[in-house]
A and B are shown apart, each in its own frame.
Chain A
Amino acid sequence: MSIFEIMGPAMIGPSSSHTAGAARIGRMASLLFADKIDRAVVKLHGSFADTAVGHGTDRAIIGGLLGFLPDDQRLRSSFELAETEGMEFSLEEVKLREVHPNTAQIELYNREKTKNLELVASSIGGGRIKVTEINGSTVELTGRMPTLWILHQDRPGEVGIITSILGSYKINIAFMQVYRNRKGDIGSCIIEMDDQPNQDVIKDLEKSEDIFQVRYLPRI
Protein backbone atom coordinates (compact mmCIF):
# COMPACT_ATOMS: atom_id res chain seq x y z
CA MET A 1 0.00 0.00 0.00
CA SER A 2 1.26 3.45 -0.88
CA ILE A 3 1.52 6.22 1.72
CA PHE A 4 -0.50 8.34 -0.70
CA GLU A 5 -3.51 6.32 0.39
CA ILE A 6 -2.93 7.79 3.86
CA MET A 7 -1.90 11.34 2.88
CA GLY A 8 -4.32 11.42 -0.02
CA PRO A 9 -6.06 11.20 -2.31
CA ALA A 10 -6.62 14.80 -3.33
CA MET A 11 -10.37 14.76 -3.74
CA ILE A 12 -13.58 16.71 -3.73
CA GLY A 13 -15.14 16.50 -0.27
CA PRO A 14 -16.85 15.80 1.95
CA SER A 15 -16.44 12.05 2.25
CA SER A 16 -13.94 9.60 0.80
CA SER A 17 -16.51 6.81 0.76
CA HIS A 18 -19.61 8.82 -0.14
CA THR A 19 -18.02 11.28 -2.59
CA ALA A 20 -14.65 10.07 -3.93
CA GLY A 21 -15.74 6.42 -3.99
CA ALA A 22 -19.03 7.40 -5.62
CA ALA A 23 -17.19 9.31 -8.37
CA ARG A 24 -14.97 6.29 -8.96
CA ILE A 25 -18.00 4.01 -9.25
CA GLY A 26 -19.46 6.31 -11.91
CA ARG A 27 -16.18 6.49 -13.78
CA MET A 28 -15.72 2.74 -13.66
CA ALA A 29 -19.22 2.30 -15.11
CA SER A 30 -18.46 4.70 -17.96
CA LEU A 31 -15.17 2.91 -18.72
CA LEU A 32 -16.94 -0.45 -18.80
CA PHE A 33 -19.65 0.97 -21.06
CA ALA A 34 -17.12 2.52 -23.46
CA ASP A 35 -19.75 4.34 -25.49
CA LYS A 36 -21.60 7.63 -25.25
CA ILE A 37 -24.11 7.32 -22.43
CA ASP A 38 -27.53 8.48 -23.54
CA ARG A 39 -29.38 7.61 -20.38
CA ALA A 40 -28.32 6.50 -16.91
CA VAL A 41 -30.48 5.10 -14.15
CA VAL A 42 -28.72 5.32 -10.80
CA LYS A 43 -30.16 3.47 -7.83
CA LEU A 44 -28.72 4.11 -4.39
CA HIS A 45 -28.78 1.61 -1.55
CA GLY A 46 -28.29 1.90 2.21
CA SER A 47 -26.18 4.74 3.53
CA PHE A 48 -25.65 5.91 -0.05
CA ALA A 49 -29.39 6.54 -0.28
CA ASP A 50 -29.78 7.96 3.23
CA THR A 51 -27.15 10.70 2.96
CA ALA A 52 -26.74 11.14 -0.79
CA VAL A 53 -27.60 14.82 -1.05
CA GLY A 54 -25.54 16.04 1.90
CA HIS A 55 -22.49 14.12 0.73
CA GLY A 56 -22.87 14.85 -2.96
CA THR A 57 -23.01 11.10 -3.64
CA ASP A 58 -25.58 11.68 -6.40
CA ARG A 59 -23.53 14.43 -8.07
CA ALA A 60 -20.33 12.42 -7.71
CA ILE A 61 -21.76 9.34 -9.46
CA ILE A 62 -23.16 11.42 -12.32
CA GLY A 63 -19.81 13.25 -12.56
CA GLY A 64 -18.02 9.91 -12.67
CA LEU A 65 -20.31 8.79 -15.49
CA LEU A 66 -19.21 11.93 -17.36
CA GLY A 67 -15.63 10.73 -16.86
CA PHE A 68 -14.59 13.07 -14.04
CA LEU A 69 -11.98 11.96 -11.53
CA PRO A 70 -12.56 12.22 -7.74
CA ASP A 71 -10.54 15.47 -7.60
CA ASP A 72 -12.37 17.20 -10.44
CA GLN A 73 -14.10 20.41 -9.35
CA ARG A 74 -16.74 19.78 -12.00
CA LEU A 75 -18.25 17.03 -9.80
CA ARG A 76 -20.13 19.78 -8.00
CA SER A 77 -21.97 20.85 -11.12
CA SER A 78 -22.31 17.44 -12.75
CA PHE A 79 -26.12 17.59 -12.97
CA GLU A 80 -25.96 20.73 -15.08
CA LEU A 81 -23.04 19.38 -17.14
CA ALA A 82 -24.91 16.11 -17.83
CA GLU A 83 -27.65 18.18 -19.40
CA THR A 84 -25.16 20.05 -21.57
CA GLU A 85 -23.60 16.75 -22.62
CA GLY A 86 -26.98 15.30 -23.46
CA MET A 87 -26.89 12.59 -20.85
CA GLU A 88 -30.27 11.93 -19.30
CA PHE A 89 -30.26 10.52 -15.81
CA SER A 90 -32.55 9.56 -13.00
CA LEU A 91 -31.82 8.84 -9.38
CA GLU A 92 -33.80 6.57 -7.15
CA GLU A 93 -33.52 4.58 -3.97
CA VAL A 94 -33.28 0.81 -3.95
CA LYS A 95 -33.03 -1.91 -1.34
CA LEU A 96 -30.55 -4.55 -2.45
CA ARG A 97 -29.89 -7.81 -0.66
CA GLU A 98 -26.62 -8.75 1.01
CA VAL A 99 -24.55 -5.84 -0.22
CA HIS A 100 -22.24 -3.31 1.42
CA PRO A 101 -24.10 -0.32 3.00
CA ASN A 102 -22.60 2.03 0.39
CA THR A 103 -23.79 0.47 -2.82
CA ALA A 104 -25.09 1.74 -6.14
CA GLN A 105 -26.78 -0.09 -8.98
CA ILE A 106 -26.31 1.61 -12.34
CA GLU A 107 -27.99 0.99 -15.70
CA LEU A 108 -26.57 2.66 -18.81
CA TYR A 109 -28.08 2.92 -22.29
CA ASN A 110 -26.71 4.22 -25.58
CA ARG A 111 -28.62 6.37 -28.07
CA GLU A 112 -29.80 3.49 -30.23
CA LYS A 113 -30.93 1.64 -27.11
CA THR A 114 -29.02 -1.29 -28.60
CA LYS A 115 -26.64 -1.57 -25.80
CA ASN A 116 -27.00 -1.51 -22.11
CA LEU A 117 -24.87 -2.21 -19.11
CA GLU A 118 -26.01 -2.95 -15.62
CA LEU A 119 -23.63 -3.04 -12.72
CA VAL A 120 -23.59 -3.11 -8.96
CA ALA A 121 -20.69 -1.46 -7.16
CA SER A 122 -19.83 -0.60 -3.57
CA SER A 123 -17.68 2.07 -1.99
CA ILE A 124 -15.73 0.07 0.55
CA GLY A 125 -13.88 2.82 2.47
CA GLY A 126 -11.17 5.42 1.92
CA GLY A 127 -12.41 6.01 -1.64
CA ARG A 128 -11.77 2.42 -2.67
CA ILE A 129 -14.45 0.65 -4.67
CA LYS A 130 -15.48 -2.80 -5.75
CA VAL A 131 -17.70 -3.68 -8.70
CA THR A 132 -19.53 -6.83 -7.61
CA GLU A 133 -21.88 -7.49 -10.51
CA ILE A 134 -21.83 -6.82 -14.25
CA ASN A 135 -24.91 -7.71 -16.32
CA GLY A 136 -26.04 -10.20 -13.73
CA SER A 137 -22.68 -11.95 -13.34
CA THR A 138 -20.84 -11.83 -10.06
CA VAL A 139 -17.41 -10.22 -10.46
CA GLU A 140 -14.80 -8.51 -8.34
CA LEU A 141 -13.33 -5.46 -9.93
CA THR A 142 -11.46 -2.83 -7.92
CA GLY A 143 -9.64 -0.60 -10.40
CA ARG A 144 -6.56 -0.63 -8.22
CA MET A 145 -4.44 -2.10 -11.01
CA PRO A 146 -4.58 -1.81 -14.80
CA THR A 147 -7.35 -4.25 -15.72
CA LEU A 148 -8.67 -5.99 -18.81
CA TRP A 149 -12.27 -7.16 -19.00
CA ILE A 150 -12.68 -9.67 -21.81
CA LEU A 151 -15.81 -11.40 -23.05
CA HIS A 152 -15.06 -14.62 -24.90
CA GLN A 153 -16.54 -17.90 -26.03
CA ASP A 154 -16.49 -20.34 -23.13
CA ARG A 155 -14.53 -23.24 -24.65
CA PRO A 156 -11.40 -25.25 -23.81
CA GLY A 157 -8.17 -23.36 -24.39
CA GLU A 158 -9.70 -19.90 -24.67
CA VAL A 159 -8.25 -18.61 -21.42
CA GLY A 160 -4.90 -20.07 -22.48
CA ILE A 161 -5.02 -18.08 -25.72
CA ILE A 162 -5.65 -14.86 -23.78
CA THR A 163 -2.85 -15.44 -21.31
CA SER A 164 -0.35 -16.38 -24.04
CA ILE A 165 -1.11 -13.17 -25.93
CA LEU A 166 -0.41 -11.21 -22.74
CA GLY A 167 2.69 -13.30 -22.11
CA SER A 168 4.02 -12.60 -25.58
CA TYR A 169 3.96 -8.90 -24.68
CA LYS A 170 5.71 -9.66 -21.39
CA ILE A 171 2.72 -8.52 -19.36
CA ASN A 172 2.61 -10.09 -15.95
CA ILE A 173 -0.81 -11.11 -14.63
CA ALA A 174 -1.24 -10.26 -10.98
CA PHE A 175 -4.80 -11.54 -10.48
CA MET A 176 -7.23 -13.25 -12.78
CA GLN A 177 -10.89 -14.20 -12.49
CA VAL A 178 -12.95 -16.22 -14.94
CA TYR A 179 -16.75 -16.35 -14.93
CA ARG A 180 -19.58 -17.66 -17.03
CA ASN A 181 -23.28 -18.09 -16.61
CA ARG A 182 -23.60 -21.43 -18.44
CA LYS A 183 -21.20 -23.97 -19.89
CA GLY A 184 -20.41 -23.12 -23.51
CA ASP A 185 -21.93 -19.66 -23.15
CA ILE A 186 -20.08 -16.34 -23.08
CA GLY A 187 -17.21 -16.33 -20.64
CA SER A 188 -16.06 -13.24 -18.82
CA CYS A 189 -12.47 -12.82 -17.84
CA ILE A 190 -11.04 -10.13 -15.57
CA ILE A 191 -7.29 -9.73 -15.62
CA GLU A 192 -5.42 -7.40 -13.31
CA MET A 193 -1.90 -6.65 -14.48
CA ASP A 194 1.30 -5.17 -13.08
CA ASP A 195 1.75 -2.98 -16.16
CA GLN A 196 -0.42 -1.07 -18.59
CA PRO A 197 -1.02 -2.92 -21.84
CA ASN A 198 -0.39 -0.95 -25.05
CA GLN A 199 -2.84 -0.69 -27.96
CA ASP A 200 -1.15 -3.57 -29.85
CA VAL A 201 -1.98 -6.00 -27.05
CA ILE A 202 -5.62 -4.96 -27.11
CA LYS A 203 -5.74 -5.19 -30.94
CA ASP A 204 -4.21 -8.66 -30.86
CA LEU A 205 -6.76 -9.80 -28.32
CA GLU A 206 -9.62 -8.31 -30.35
CA LYS A 207 -8.37 -10.10 -33.49
CA SER A 208 -8.75 -13.46 -31.81
CA GLU A 209 -11.77 -15.27 -33.24
CA ASP A 210 -13.55 -16.22 -30.05
CA ILE A 211 -13.04 -12.94 -28.23
CA PHE A 212 -16.11 -10.71 -28.46
CA GLN A 213 -15.11 -7.71 -26.46
CA VAL A 214 -12.01 -6.24 -24.84
CA ARG A 215 -12.18 -3.34 -22.40
CA TYR A 216 -9.14 -1.76 -20.87
CA LEU A 217 -9.68 -0.15 -17.49
CA PRO A 218 -6.83 2.03 -16.26
CA ARG A 219 -6.09 2.36 -12.54
CA ILE A 220 -8.74 4.57 -11.05
Chain B
Amino acid sequence: MEYATIRELVSLAAAAETSIWQIVLQVEAEEEEVNESDVRKSMLTNLEVMKEAVDYGRQNNIQTGGGLVGDEALKLEKYFASTSEAEQNNIYNKIITYALATAEVNAGMGKIVAGPTAGASGIVPAVVLSIGEHNNLSDQRLVEALFTAAGLGYVVSKKATLAGAAGGCQAECGVGAAMAAGAAVELRGGSPQMAADAFAMALKNLLGLVCDPVAGLVEVPCVKRNAFAAAHAYTASTMALAGIESVIPADEVIMALTEIGDQMPTCLKETSRGGLAVTPTALKIKEDLQ
Protein backbone atom coordinates (compact mmCIF):
# COMPACT_ATOMS: atom_id res chain seq x y z
CA MET B 1 0.00 0.00 0.00
CA GLU B 2 1.24 3.49 -0.74
CA TYR B 3 0.01 7.02 -1.28
CA ALA B 4 1.47 9.95 -3.14
CA THR B 5 -1.49 12.35 -3.08
CA ILE B 6 -4.06 13.51 -0.55
CA ARG B 7 -6.70 12.04 -2.81
CA GLU B 8 -5.10 8.59 -2.63
CA LEU B 9 -4.82 8.89 1.13
CA VAL B 10 -8.52 9.73 1.42
CA SER B 11 -9.54 6.95 -1.00
CA LEU B 12 -7.51 4.33 0.87
CA ALA B 13 -9.05 5.40 4.17
CA ALA B 14 -12.57 5.54 2.73
CA ALA B 15 -12.23 2.14 1.03
CA ALA B 16 -11.10 0.54 4.29
CA GLU B 17 -13.80 2.44 6.20
CA THR B 18 -11.16 3.84 8.48
CA SER B 19 -9.33 7.11 9.16
CA ILE B 20 -6.32 8.68 7.49
CA TRP B 21 -4.18 8.03 10.57
CA GLN B 22 -4.72 4.29 10.26
CA ILE B 23 -3.46 4.28 6.66
CA VAL B 24 -0.45 6.44 7.56
CA LEU B 25 0.46 4.15 10.47
CA GLN B 26 0.09 1.01 8.35
CA VAL B 27 2.18 2.35 5.46
CA GLU B 28 4.91 3.54 7.83
CA ALA B 29 5.09 0.11 9.49
CA GLU B 30 5.26 -1.63 6.09
CA GLU B 31 7.82 0.74 4.57
CA GLU B 32 10.17 0.80 7.56
CA GLU B 33 9.65 -2.90 8.32
CA VAL B 34 8.70 -2.34 11.94
CA ASN B 35 5.52 -3.33 13.73
CA GLU B 36 2.72 -0.87 14.32
CA SER B 37 3.09 -0.83 18.08
CA ASP B 38 6.72 0.31 17.73
CA VAL B 39 5.69 3.06 15.33
CA ARG B 40 3.08 4.14 17.86
CA LYS B 41 5.73 4.15 20.58
CA SER B 42 8.01 6.41 18.57
CA MET B 43 5.19 8.85 17.99
CA LEU B 44 4.26 8.72 21.68
CA THR B 45 7.83 9.83 22.44
CA ASN B 46 7.25 12.79 20.14
CA LEU B 47 4.00 13.57 21.96
CA GLU B 48 5.86 13.60 25.29
CA VAL B 49 8.44 16.04 23.92
CA MET B 50 5.60 18.27 22.69
CA LYS B 51 3.92 18.27 26.12
CA GLU B 52 7.15 19.13 27.89
CA ALA B 53 7.84 22.02 25.51
CA VAL B 54 4.34 23.42 26.03
CA ASP B 55 4.60 23.14 29.82
CA TYR B 56 8.01 24.78 29.89
CA GLY B 57 7.07 27.60 27.56
CA ARG B 58 3.91 28.42 29.51
CA GLN B 59 5.76 28.76 32.78
CA ASN B 60 9.05 30.35 31.85
CA ASN B 61 10.48 33.53 30.50
CA ILE B 62 12.75 32.12 27.86
CA GLN B 63 16.14 33.49 26.90
CA THR B 64 16.43 33.31 23.12
CA GLY B 65 19.36 33.83 20.77
CA GLY B 66 18.21 37.26 19.66
CA GLY B 67 16.20 38.16 22.75
CA LEU B 68 13.31 39.39 20.60
CA VAL B 69 10.76 36.95 22.04
CA GLY B 70 10.46 34.73 25.09
CA ASP B 71 7.64 35.71 27.43
CA GLU B 72 4.58 35.71 25.18
CA ALA B 73 2.98 32.48 26.44
CA LEU B 74 3.71 33.55 29.99
CA LYS B 75 1.93 36.84 29.37
CA LEU B 76 -1.13 35.04 28.02
CA GLU B 77 -1.16 32.69 31.02
CA LYS B 78 -1.12 35.67 33.38
CA TYR B 79 -3.78 37.46 31.37
CA PHE B 80 -6.16 34.48 31.27
CA ALA B 81 -5.72 33.97 35.01
CA SER B 82 -7.45 37.32 35.46
CA THR B 83 -10.34 36.61 33.07
CA SER B 84 -13.67 34.80 33.38
CA GLU B 85 -14.04 31.03 33.42
CA ALA B 86 -15.68 31.11 30.01
CA GLU B 87 -12.64 32.88 28.64
CA GLN B 88 -10.31 30.39 30.29
CA ASN B 89 -12.20 27.48 28.76
CA ASN B 90 -12.15 28.97 25.30
CA ILE B 91 -10.19 26.50 23.19
CA TYR B 92 -8.74 29.22 20.96
CA ASN B 93 -7.05 30.77 23.96
CA LYS B 94 -5.47 27.45 24.83
CA ILE B 95 -4.36 26.92 21.23
CA ILE B 96 -2.59 30.25 20.88
CA THR B 97 -0.90 29.90 24.27
CA TYR B 98 0.43 26.42 23.48
CA ALA B 99 1.64 27.46 20.04
CA LEU B 100 3.56 30.41 21.47
CA ALA B 101 4.97 28.27 24.26
CA THR B 102 6.46 25.74 21.85
CA ALA B 103 7.72 28.32 19.37
CA GLU B 104 9.45 30.20 22.21
CA VAL B 105 11.07 27.02 23.53
CA ASN B 106 12.34 26.43 20.01
CA ALA B 107 13.75 29.94 19.74
CA GLY B 108 15.52 29.43 23.08
CA MET B 109 17.40 26.27 22.05
CA GLY B 110 14.94 24.07 23.88
CA LYS B 111 13.73 20.64 22.80
CA ILE B 112 10.85 20.47 20.34
CA VAL B 113 9.55 18.18 17.62
CA ALA B 114 10.22 19.67 14.20
CA GLY B 115 6.95 19.21 12.38
CA PRO B 116 6.93 20.08 9.55
CA THR B 117 9.93 22.25 10.51
CA ALA B 118 11.45 23.65 13.70
CA GLY B 119 10.27 27.17 12.82
CA ALA B 120 6.69 25.93 12.48
CA SER B 121 6.90 23.44 15.35
CA GLY B 122 4.29 25.16 17.56
CA ILE B 123 1.23 24.65 15.38
CA VAL B 124 0.50 20.91 15.33
CA PRO B 125 1.13 20.36 19.08
CA ALA B 126 -0.97 23.38 20.03
CA VAL B 127 -3.98 22.15 18.10
CA VAL B 128 -3.66 18.48 19.00
CA LEU B 129 -2.92 18.98 22.72
CA SER B 130 -5.63 21.63 23.15
CA ILE B 131 -8.32 19.47 21.57
CA GLY B 132 -7.08 16.54 23.66
CA GLU B 133 -7.35 18.46 26.91
CA HIS B 134 -10.62 20.08 25.98
CA ASN B 135 -12.23 16.72 25.25
CA ASN B 136 -10.33 14.50 27.70
CA LEU B 137 -8.83 12.35 24.96
CA SER B 138 -6.28 9.60 25.61
CA ASP B 139 -2.64 9.92 24.55
CA GLN B 140 -3.22 7.18 22.00
CA ARG B 141 -5.86 9.29 20.29
CA LEU B 142 -3.45 12.21 20.19
CA VAL B 143 -0.74 9.97 18.76
CA GLU B 144 -3.19 8.96 16.04
CA ALA B 145 -3.82 12.61 15.24
CA LEU B 146 -0.07 13.09 14.85
CA PHE B 147 -0.10 10.31 12.24
CA THR B 148 -2.82 12.16 10.35
CA ALA B 149 -0.73 15.33 10.43
CA ALA B 150 2.43 13.47 9.42
CA GLY B 151 0.77 11.72 6.49
CA LEU B 152 -0.63 14.97 5.12
CA GLY B 153 2.76 16.65 5.48
CA TYR B 154 4.44 13.66 3.86
CA VAL B 155 2.43 14.24 0.68
CA VAL B 156 3.49 17.90 0.62
CA SER B 157 7.14 16.94 1.07
CA LYS B 158 6.89 14.58 -1.91
CA LYS B 159 5.02 16.98 -4.19
CA ALA B 160 6.26 20.36 -3.05
CA THR B 161 8.63 21.57 -0.35
CA LEU B 162 8.69 22.11 3.40
CA ALA B 163 11.60 24.54 3.38
CA GLY B 164 11.18 28.26 3.83
CA ALA B 165 14.29 28.76 1.73
CA ALA B 166 12.57 27.04 -1.18
CA GLY B 167 8.91 27.93 -0.76
CA GLY B 168 8.62 30.75 1.75
CA CYS B 169 6.68 30.53 5.01
CA GLN B 170 3.64 29.11 3.21
CA ALA B 171 5.70 25.90 3.04
CA GLU B 172 6.42 25.96 6.78
CA CYS B 173 3.63 27.61 8.81
CA GLY B 174 1.18 27.20 5.91
CA VAL B 175 1.76 23.47 5.70
CA GLY B 176 1.93 23.18 9.50
CA ALA B 177 -1.53 24.75 9.76
CA ALA B 178 -2.86 22.48 7.02
CA MET B 179 -1.46 19.37 8.73
CA ALA B 180 -2.94 20.49 12.05
CA ALA B 181 -6.31 21.21 10.45
CA GLY B 182 -6.56 17.69 9.04
CA ALA B 183 -5.47 16.18 12.35
CA ALA B 184 -8.05 18.30 14.20
CA VAL B 185 -10.85 17.02 11.96
CA GLU B 186 -10.03 13.39 12.70
CA LEU B 187 -9.67 14.09 16.42
CA ARG B 188 -13.08 15.73 16.38
CA GLY B 189 -14.70 12.79 14.64
CA GLY B 190 -14.76 13.99 11.03
CA SER B 191 -14.30 11.89 7.89
CA PRO B 192 -11.11 11.52 5.80
CA GLN B 193 -12.63 13.77 3.11
CA MET B 194 -13.40 16.42 5.74
CA ALA B 195 -9.78 16.21 6.89
CA ALA B 196 -8.65 16.78 3.30
CA ASP B 197 -11.00 19.74 2.98
CA ALA B 198 -9.74 21.27 6.22
CA PHE B 199 -6.18 20.73 5.01
CA ALA B 200 -6.97 22.44 1.71
CA MET B 201 -8.80 25.38 3.30
CA ALA B 202 -6.08 26.02 5.85
CA LEU B 203 -3.32 25.87 3.24
CA LYS B 204 -5.23 27.99 0.69
CA ASN B 205 -5.57 30.79 3.14
CA LEU B 206 -1.85 30.93 3.89
CA LEU B 207 -0.63 30.64 0.29
CA GLY B 208 1.82 33.37 -0.60
CA LEU B 209 3.14 33.77 2.91
CA VAL B 210 6.76 34.90 2.71
CA CYS B 211 9.70 34.04 4.94
CA ASP B 212 11.38 37.30 5.99
CA PRO B 213 12.84 36.70 9.45
CA VAL B 214 14.35 39.65 11.28
CA ALA B 215 18.14 39.28 11.57
CA GLY B 216 17.81 35.76 10.17
CA LEU B 217 16.53 34.47 13.49
CA VAL B 218 13.58 32.13 14.07
CA GLU B 219 11.95 34.76 16.30
CA VAL B 220 10.20 37.60 14.45
CA PRO B 221 7.70 37.06 12.90
CA CYS B 222 8.00 33.28 13.35
CA VAL B 223 7.03 32.81 16.98
CA LYS B 224 3.77 34.79 16.92
CA ARG B 225 2.94 33.44 13.50
CA ASN B 226 2.76 29.96 15.02
CA ALA B 227 -0.11 31.15 17.23
CA PHE B 228 -2.00 32.69 14.32
CA ALA B 229 -1.48 29.61 12.16
CA ALA B 230 -2.66 27.30 14.96
CA ALA B 231 -5.90 29.25 15.48
CA HIS B 232 -6.30 29.27 11.73
CA ALA B 233 -5.98 25.47 11.60
CA TYR B 234 -8.71 25.04 14.19
CA THR B 235 -10.99 27.39 12.23
CA ALA B 236 -10.46 25.31 9.08
CA SER B 237 -11.30 22.10 10.96
CA THR B 238 -14.55 23.57 12.29
CA MET B 239 -15.63 24.68 8.83
CA ALA B 240 -14.87 21.24 7.38
CA LEU B 241 -16.76 19.48 10.18
CA ALA B 242 -19.78 21.63 9.36
CA GLY B 243 -19.65 20.27 5.83
CA ILE B 244 -17.96 23.26 4.20
CA GLU B 245 -15.86 21.97 1.32
CA SER B 246 -12.81 23.37 -0.36
CA VAL B 247 -13.66 24.28 -3.94
CA ILE B 248 -10.06 23.63 -4.94
CA PRO B 249 -9.05 20.07 -3.99
CA ALA B 250 -6.13 19.60 -1.58
CA ASP B 251 -3.72 18.23 -4.19
CA GLU B 252 -4.31 21.22 -6.44
CA VAL B 253 -3.69 23.59 -3.54
CA ILE B 254 -0.33 21.84 -3.09
CA MET B 255 0.38 22.48 -6.79
CA ALA B 256 -0.42 26.14 -6.25
CA LEU B 257 1.93 26.19 -3.25
CA THR B 258 4.78 24.97 -5.45
CA GLU B 259 4.00 27.42 -8.23
CA ILE B 260 3.80 30.37 -5.86
CA GLY B 261 6.99 29.25 -4.12
CA ASP B 262 8.82 29.13 -7.45
CA GLN B 263 7.63 32.60 -8.37
CA MET B 264 8.41 34.09 -4.99
CA PRO B 265 11.57 36.23 -5.13
CA THR B 266 14.62 34.91 -3.31
CA CYS B 267 14.69 37.99 -1.07
CA LEU B 268 11.48 36.69 0.54
CA LYS B 269 12.63 33.11 1.01
CA GLU B 270 14.61 32.91 4.25
CA THR B 271 17.41 35.18 3.09
CA SER B 272 16.41 38.15 5.30
CA ARG B 273 16.95 40.43 2.32
CA GLY B 274 13.35 41.63 1.99
CA GLY B 275 10.05 42.29 3.72
CA LEU B 276 10.05 42.66 7.49
CA ALA B 277 13.76 41.85 7.61
CA VAL B 278 14.72 45.11 5.90
CA THR B 279 12.46 47.47 7.83
CA PRO B 280 14.35 50.20 9.73
CA THR B 281 13.61 48.52 13.06
CA ALA B 282 14.74 45.10 11.82
CA LEU B 283 17.97 46.53 10.43
CA LYS B 284 18.68 48.26 13.71
CA ILE B 285 18.05 45.01 15.61
CA LYS B 286 20.41 43.20 13.26
CA GLU B 287 23.08 45.83 13.77
CA ASP B 288 22.72 45.72 17.56
CA LEU B 289 23.08 41.94 17.58
CA GLN B 290 26.33 41.95 15.63
Known: A2-B32, A16-B117, A54-B215. A10 touches B112 (CB 8 A): yes
Cβ contacts A1-32/B at 8 Å (1 or 0 each):
11111111111111110011000000000000
Chain B residues touching A, range:
35 or more
Known: A7-B149, A14-B217, A54-B215. A2 touches B106 (CB 8 A): no
Taking a contact as CB atoms under 8 Å apart, the answer to whether B107 and A14 are in contact is yes
Please tell me if B190 contacts chain A, counting CB pairs below 8 Å: no
Please tell me if B253 contacts chain A, counting CB pairs below 8 Å: no
Docked Cα-Cα span, A33 to B65, in Å, equals: 30
Residues of B near A10 (CB, < 8 A) are 45-46, 49, 111-114
Contact of B109 among A4, A47, A51, A76 (CB under 8 A): A76
Docked Cα-Cα span, A50 to B45, in Å, equals: 34
Known: A1-B154, A19-B118. A7 touches B113 (CB 8 A): yes
Docked Cα-Cα span, A137 to B108, in Å, equals: 37
Known: A10-B113, A15-B119. A125 touches B165 (CB 8 A): yes
| Dominant secondary structure of chain A at its interface with chain B | mixed
Chain A residues touching B, range:
20 to 34
Taking a contact as CB atoms under 8 Å apart, the answer to whether B218 and A11 are in contact is no
Taking a contact as CB atoms under 8 Å apart, the answer to whether A16 and B118 are in contact is yes
Taking a contact as CB atoms under 8 Å apart, the answer to whether B146 and A7 are in contact is yes
Please tell me if B88 contacts chain A, counting CB pairs below 8 Å: no
Nearest residue, chain A, Cβ from B163: A125
Taking a contact as CB atoms under 8 Å apart, the answer to whether A11 and B112 are in contact is yes
Please tell me if B157 contacts chain A, counting CB pairs below 8 Å: yes
Known: A14-B218, A54-B65, A55-B65. A7 touches B46 (CB 8 A): yes
Please tell me if B85 contacts chain A, counting CB pairs below 8 Å: no
Docked Cα-Cα span, A6 to B24, in Å, equals: 12
| Given A7-B149, A55-B216, 19 further pairs, Cβ under 8 A | A1-B158, A2-B28, A2-B31, A3-B28, A7-B46, A7-B113, A7-B115, A7-B147, A11-B112, A11-B114, A13-B107, A13-B108, A14-B65, A14-B218, A54-B215, A54-B217, A71-B49, A75-B109, A126-B114
14 contacts between A and B (CB under 8 A): A1-B157, A5-B157, A6-B116, A6-B153, A7-B46, A10-B46, A10-B114, A12-B112, A13-B118, A16-B118, A54-B216, A56-B65, A126-B114, A127-B114
B contacts, CB < 8 Å to A = 24, 28, 31-32, 42-43, 45-46, 49, 64-66, 105-119, 121, 124, 146-147, 149-151, 153-154, 157-158, 162-163, 165, 215-219, 289
